[in-house]
Chain A
Amino acid sequence: MSGPILEVRGVEQRFGPFRALGPVDLVLHRGERLGIIGPNGSGKTTLINCISGTLRPQEGRVLFDGVDVTDVPPHRRARMGLSRSFQIPKPFTGMTVLENLLVPIDQISPSADAEDRAIAVLESVGLQRRAAHEAGDLSQLELRKLELARALVVEPKVLVADEAMAGLSEGEIDDVLAILTRLSGTGIAVIMIEHIMHAVMRFSTRIVCFETGRTIADAAPDVIAADPLVQKVYFGEQTRH
């Protein structure tokens, strides 16, 4: 199939009288690296929740791989190949790091070599030495890596990384970027929501900018960076002398 892997059509989400999102249209192509930027409260995470299914939008449709998934619960979307990581890591505490990865494998693609697959993914993010440790004992960076590893281990078609690099040092950002770039090389489409501009700029082939629930720009990174409207809402008013 050659159509887009993910399509958002006229999606709108209101919380009471407040319209947090929409109407928004968005298309993600296979293997694409899409960056989503925008100030806090501009609707990025709401959009992700509508895509992953934890929120059901009041208006509009979400299509995954050509199938309308608007009314499909999150676990079934995950089984169809839609993975996400959370802005605030949500490790399965009370379980080991290895077991954290076995949970999605059990549900989505069980196999006899599940543990080997999990270990291989832990290696790829540099967490193999932590395999037998309690997930709750991990550091912030390790939690973010676990978050990614858990989303990746089932080889999804789309990965949505919600601020996977927030709070990390420059070196750690490079680590995570390398993981995501390597992943994208295997044909997985990635949506990166990020505040760290140089990371999004480096990673993405296309960037969408959000402001008060609407997309105000959708273009290649260099075009976005030069867009006066984006500069205004995102970088603040620039004064020239």
Chain B
Amino acid sequence: MSLRENAMDWAVRRTGRTPRATRSLVFALGCLAVLALGVVLTRMVDNPYVFFAGYVVIQYVALATGWNVLGGYAGYINFGPTAFYGVGVYMAAFLVKAMGAPLPVAIAAAGVAGALLGLAMGWMTLRVQGVYFAIATIALVVMAETVIHNIDYLGGASGLALMPPQAPAWAGGQPQFMLMVMLAIAVAFVALARWIEISAMGRGLRALKASEIAAECAGVPTFRLKLIACAVSGAMLAIAGAPYVYYASFIEPGTAFSLALSLNAIAMPLIGGKRSWVGPVIGALLLATVQQAASVTISSELNILVVGVVLILFVAVAPDGIVGIVEKLTRRRGA
């Protein structure tokens, strides 16, 4: 065996990795299985609360995954995910009120609006880094919410009741349909995040996260990559907001721009692990489920406390999240 084959073989054994094509196939099958499971669930469960809770949990998977494209891969902490989510919600609300727009149109429009806002965030703030970037993104939420407060057509501060189009008959009802929609969005997001992660773009983002100067000198167009990541992440966060209008039929700025939603979307990748697409998924499923359970069994106020405590624990004890812990354990066993 040549030295090179030896090194490759050794590298493969070391990480226990199967070839990329195989892994991608397994991933694709997994996505299909999750979607199929969602459809089956909507046929078997009757309790509408299950669909509502499921919708919230899956929406968090989508939000956490969208946030992680910029926050996890590029290392730019966006403290204002609800600015984008809220813009998505209100873009959909506007389209429903103005023309009774069907859901796909609202989703597409929310994506465009989120991407544009993301580009603006990129232009404004990518020249500031670290804490200053984070502060600027908080300002984004305040700005977006203030704008909505002052648009009477969208109900201003008091909110807006809407008559969104009904779910198609095959779906078996609005809650069932919305769950399937959100599941499809979340699965698509996770697939997109995974693609970014393993592509040249993902490597470029991780490189600039480690050192922007070194990345730039290695040929990485850092500014362009950051802009793209901002736009993609912004579009994803906004898209996650659009279906809410079709579910809730009443929206108000307090929910669309809620601080708790922002905190959750940031905490979930941190708890699950920011480095790979698995982290936000695990973090969101875990945290959102606990929150839903806590708000039913204990108190609806308690759930945000749960997030706080868990987040502090993880930041202090396991900064690489659950995925990081698992990696450390398997590495120790392998060594």
Contact = CB atoms under 8 A, between A and B. Distances in A.
A154 B206 contact: no
Contacts of B4: 116, 119-120, 123, 128
Contacts of B216: 53-54, 73-75, 78
Contacts, number: 107
B10 A92 contact: no
A132 interface: yes
Interface string B203-226: 110110111011111111110000
A126 to B, nearest CB: 11
A92 B214 contact: yes
B217 A132 contact: no
B69 to A, nearest CB: 15
B224 to A, nearest CB: 9
Interface in B211-266: 211, 213-222
Interface string B1-25: 0011011101110110000000000
B14 A106 contact: no
B153 to A, nearest CB: 44
Given A92-B214, A115-B8, A75 B14 contact: no
B207 A75 contact: no
A40 to B, nearest CB: 20
Contacts of B8: 115-116, 119, 131
B215 A103 contact: yes
Contacts of B207: 92, 95, 100, 103
Interface in A82-132: 83-84, 86, 90-95, 98-100, 102-104, 106-108, 110, 115-116, 119-120, 122-123, 128-129, 131-132
Contacts of A110: 200
A9 interface: no
B322 to A, nearest CB: 17
Contact of B221 (A75, A86, A90, A132): A75
Contacts of B15: 132
Contacts of B12: 132
A79 B207 CA distance: 16
Interface residues of B, number: 29
A45 B181 CA distance: 55
A37 B15 CA distance: 43
A150 interface: yes
Contacts of A76: 221
B283 to A, nearest CB: 18
A52 interface: yes
Contact of B204 (A53, A103, A116): A103
Contacts of B275: 94
Interface string B31-69: 000000000000000000000000000000000000000
A92 B211 contact: yes
B217 A79 contact: no
Given A122-B7, A128-B7, 10 more contacts: A73-B221, A75-B216, A90-B211, A90-B213, A90-B214, A91-B214, A102-B203, A123-B7, A129-B10, A132-B10
Q: Which 9 A-B pairs have the closest CB atoms?
A: A107-B219, A106-B200, A90-B214, A78-B219, A132-B11, A128-B7, A104-B218, A90-B211, A92-B210
Interface of B: 3-4, 6-8, 10-12, 14-15, 200, 203-204, 206-207, 209-211, 213-222, 275
14 contacts: A52-B217, A54-B216, A75-B217, A78-B219, A79-B219, A83-B217, A99-B203, A102-B203, A103-B207, A103-B220, A106-B200, A106-B204, A116-B4, A120-B4
